Amino acid sequence: MIELTTTAKSLGERLRLYRLRKNMTLQELADLVGTSPSTISNYENDITVPDILRITAIANALDITVSMIMFGREPESEQEPLIPAENPPL
């Protein structure tokens, strides 16, 4: 089972980490999401960024959530924002 958190800093690092945890090759993931292995490699190397539809397809193929790809974790509650407010209330 994939852990719910990761220390990977970038979206690309998280994609690679979760793909490798599923023992999946670039080709296998590319086939599942309908793209090329070089496109997946570009995502993993932070050369290009997938759009939200592709992120959703990748998340489904890796059996994780979009939040895990985008932020490296799930919110602890539905009310907790994943992106902190710029000026939190005092």
| DSSP label at residue 90 | -
Residue 34 belongs to a domain: yes
Residue 21 belongs to a domain: yes
Residue range 21-29: average pLDDT? 97
Residue 25, pLDDT > 50, answer yes
Range of the domain at 50: 15-70
What is the number of domains present in the chain? 1
Q: What is the CATH number of the domain that holds 49?
A: 1.10.260.40
Residue 37 belongs to a domain: yes
Residue range 29-45: average pLDDT? 97
Query: What does pTM read for this prediction?
Result: 0.75
Rounded Cα gap, residues 89 and 86, in angstroms? 10
Residue 33 belongs to a domain: yes
Report the percent of the chain where pLDDT is more than 90. Answer: 64
Residue 59, pLDDT > 90, answer yes
Rounded Cα gap, residues 66 and 23, in angstroms? 19
Residue 1, pLDDT > 60, answer no
| H or E element, residue 14 | helix 11-21
Mean of the per-residue pLDDT values for the chain?
Answer: 84
Residue 6 belongs to a domain: no
